[in-house]
Amino acid sequence: MLSRKELFKDTLKKAAHAWKRTVELHLTEEEANLLRLYIDQPGYVDLHWVMFVPAIKGQGTEEQQKKWLTMAYKFQIIGTYAQTELGHGSNVQGLETTATFDPSTDEFIMHSPTLTSSKWWPGGLGKTSTHAVVYARLITEGKDYGIHGFIMQLRSLDDHSPLPGITIGDIGGKFGSGAYNSMDNGVMRLDHVRIPRDQMLMRLAQVTREGKYVHSDVPKQLLYGTMVYVRQTIVADASRALSRAVCIAVRYGAIRKQFGSKAGGPETQVLNYKTQQSRLFPFLASAYAFRFVGQWLKWLYTDVTQKLESKDFSTLPEAHACTAGLKSVTTSATADAIEECQKLCGGHGYLNSSGLPELFAVNLPACTYEGDNVVLLLQVARFLMKTVSQVASGKQPVGTTAYMGNIQHLMQCKSVVNTVEDWLNPAAIKEVFEARALRMAVNCAQNISKAPSQEEGFEAAVAHVQLIIVTKFIEKLQEDILGHGVKEQLQKLCGIYALHLIHKHLGDFLSTGCVTARQGSLANERLGKLYAQVRPNAVALVDAFDYTDHYLGSALGRYDGDVYSALYKEAWKDPLNETVVPDGYQEHLRPLLKQQLKLSRL
């Protein structure tokens, strides 16, 4: 119910209070992250911690880190990540902002040469940030060396006014009434703003006092390292958002009753309808699947970071492909699922008090930020095409593409599934996913060799990423899992996750010859049985996410199931209900009614 201005101020207040508590309670970095997570309102601090600090850590020299991170960690400065421009987002190489070195003063001149080069979107830039890592084309000795990162002070640390040459503001209201409107995504134009040479982030490359450009011995892709880090965190966000939506829809489905009353008895819980289960339980399974793959991705990221520290860059391409692919597949699936959960809750799901509209609005942009999902999947396709060609020349693939080394078998194998029960076998499931992914990648590589195209391989990339998710779920179930019967429930969810994908993408599985039509229909039959088996534990499986009512923010998803009184109470809180007769009655309603009454009497 807050206006944009009130909402923004509320975010400032919460962020300041959270920081105060962080200091008072001596919270660790992890605990402070959790505190921000549960505040659950996008704000400038997200960009400060999730992008500004990591960008300096990844791209700054030790000296630069010491100087800037010391201030950033104490919130003496507030930073953002200013990469995207009005005319260029996905294509980072196309950015237009320039950083021209002036050897006479030992400074860079930061400039926005065109309207389209205005920085546009950075969170916190509009009204809050005092500093930013700004991405700009480095020009020295008359040559353009492409995009590099620069630390810039944007606002005075005394009175917060923009520094000379900097025009800065908010880009305006966004989708939904709350959601990202709490964030001051900003626009910024630079008019020949001078910064010292040592504010270029110099871990990847340096400009000497004389203006010479010098490469470091690290790959230039590390410039994109912050995005790899954030994409990894977004997978965990997607799993959390999806589990919230599913928790609301499952709990409500157990309360809501429609039709099916026998002899005057109670109606049927909508969760008992097979159609409801077949729409909802794949999301329940996906929420668990994304959580497990998110945990694995965090491990992969930590591993690649350790390797980078010892100058081993060999796993960087895989880390890029995995973070890009998983960010893309999980956020797209989550946005679609939240929208569907609204429909699964019927009309009440459309009310703000269900919590679903806000959840949808706040998670929808994850399909776009940190890399448009299609653009990122095309990066995965590019990685797969390279791997296929390496396999063809005898190189053994490793990591998530190791299965491609089994090319002889996977290109011609036939699924062993013969009965409904055979679809319980994780090895049989994994084999068809591997065969589908490999065959699609090889087909794509053949098509590209005939008619090269940047856009080929999107579907092959999706198949590969889904294989990763299925594989990581299966691997999770090989670990010890505490709790009586928990593993059995997770096995059922794993089956649902994999088999619903076979159902959804049956065209791919059939056209690549990985399963027959009969095997496809056996998979559907198995799926129906799994839904019925999961039903008795569905509520427990969402209770297990352990969300408080406060965090869930939903009248429909309440733990105690007292849905109707909650909806009723929430309705009365609406400002429209502050008066019995609405504002506007005297000016617009009354004259209309009176006039019509008069006319009818004539």
Ligand X SMILES: CCCCCCCCCC/C=C\CCCC(=O)SCCNC(=O)CCNC(=O)[C@H](O)C(C)(C)COP(=O)(O)OP(=O)(O)OC[C@H]1O[C@@H](n2cnc3c(N)ncnc32)[C@H](O)[C@@H]1OP(=O)(O)O
- Which residues within the stretch 314-353 sit at the binding site for ligand X (CB under 6 A)? 316-317, 320
- Name the one residue in this structure whose structure tokens are 């900003």: 186
Residue 494 · residue 473 · CB < 8 Å: yes
Q: Say whether residue 195 binds ligand X (CB under 6 A).
A: no
Q: Say whether residue 90 binds ligand FAD (CB under 6 A).
A: yes
Full DSSP string of 48-87 = IIIIIHHHHHHHS-HHHHHHHHHHHHTTSS-EEEE--BSS
Q: How far is the CB of 107 from ligand FAD (least distance, A)?
A: 24
Q: How far is the CB of 358 from ligand FAD (least distance, A)?
A: 14
In whole angstroms, what is the distance from residue 436 CA to residue 442 CA? Answer: 10
How do beta strands 131-140 and 79-82 pair?
A: parallel
Task: Say if residue 84 carries a ligand binding annotation.
Answer: yes
Which residue of this chain has its Cβ atom nearest to ligand FAD in the complex?
89
Size of the site for ligand FAD (CB under 6 A): 22
92 binds, among ligand X, ligand FAD, none (CB under 5 to 8 A by kind): ligand X
Residue from 54, 79, 123, 495 binding ligand FAD (CB under 6 A)? 123
Q: How far is the CB of 201 from ligand FAD (least distance, A)?
A: 15
Q: Say whether residue 58 binds ligand FAD (CB under 6 A).
A: no
374 binds, among ligand X, ligand FAD, none (CB under 5 to 8 A by kind): ligand FAD
The percent of the chain in helix, strand and coil, each rounded to the nearest 5, is: 60, 10, 30
Contacts of 209 (CB under 8 A, 6+ apart): 103, 106, 197
Q: Say whether residue 357 binds ligand FAD (CB under 6 A).
A: no
Q: Which residues pair with 149 in a beta bridge?
A: 135
Residue from 101, 224, 252, 360 binding ligand X (CB under 6 A)? 224
Q: How far is the CB of 327 from ligand FAD (least distance, A)?
A: 11
Q: How far is the CB of 139 from ligand FAD (least distance, A)?
A: 21
Which is nearest to 134 in space by CA: 172, 93, 190, 94?
190
Q: Say whether residue 547 binds ligand FAD (CB under 6 A).
A: no
Residue from 1, 16, 37, 532 binding ligand X (CB under 6 A)? 37
In whole angstroms, what is the distance from residue 113 CA to residue 479 CA? Answer: 56
In whole angstroms, what is the distance from residue 542 CA to residue 244 CA? Answer: 8
User: Smaller CB distance to ligand FAD: residue 177 or 368?
Assistant: 368
Residue from 41, 128, 185, 199 binding ligand FAD (CB under 6 A)? 185
Q: Say whether residue 547 binds ligand X (CB under 6 A).
A: no
Active site annotation includes 370: yes
Contacts of 536 (CB under 8 A, 6+ apart): none
In whole angstroms, what is the distance from residue 254 CA to residue 555 CA? Answer: 14
Q: Say whether residue 91 binds ligand X (CB under 6 A).
A: yes
Q: Which stretch binds ligand FAD (CB under 6 A): 201-209, 370-378, 426-434, 474-482?
A: 370-378
339, 370, 431, 456: which one is catalytic?
370
Task: Say if residue 167 carries a ligand binding annotation.
Answer: no
Q: Say whether residue 178 binds ligand FAD (CB under 6 A).
A: no
Token reading at 188 = 């910024």
Q: Say whether residue 369 binds ligand FAD (CB under 6 A).
A: yes
Computed on alpha carbons and rounded to an integer, the radius of gyration of the chain in Å comes to 27
Residue 57 · residue 226 · CB < 8 Å: no
Residue 333 · residue 327 · CB < 8 Å: no
Contacts of 11 (CB under 8 A, 6+ apart): 41, 42, 43, 44, 182, 183
Q: Say whether residue 81 binds ligand FAD (CB under 6 A).
A: yes
Q: Say whether residue 90 binds ligand X (CB under 6 A).
A: yes
- How far from chain centre, in Å, is Cα 285? 18
Q: Which stretch binds ligand FAD (CB under 6 A): 23-31, 77-85, 94-102, 189-197?
A: 77-85
Q: Say whether residue 455 binds ligand FAD (CB under 6 A).
A: yes
185 binds, among ligand X, ligand FAD, none (CB under 5 to 8 A by kind): ligand FAD
- Phi then psi for residue 35, to 5 deg, are -60, -45
Q: What is the dihedral of CA 388, 391, 395, 400, to 10 degrees?
A: 60
Residue 109 · residue 100 · CB < 8 Å: yes
Q: Which residues bind ligand X (CB under 6 A)?
A: 33, 36-37, 46, 50, 81, 83-84, 90-93, 123, 221, 224, 227-228, 230, 233, 237, 316-317, 320, 369-371, 375, 379, 382, 386
Q: Which residues are catalytic?
A: 370
Which residue ranges make up the annotated binding site for FAD? 84, 123
Binding site for ligand FAD (CB under 6 A): 47, 81-84, 89-90, 121-123, 180, 185, 365, 368-372, 374-375, 378, 455
Q: Which residues are annotated as a binding site?
A: 84, 123
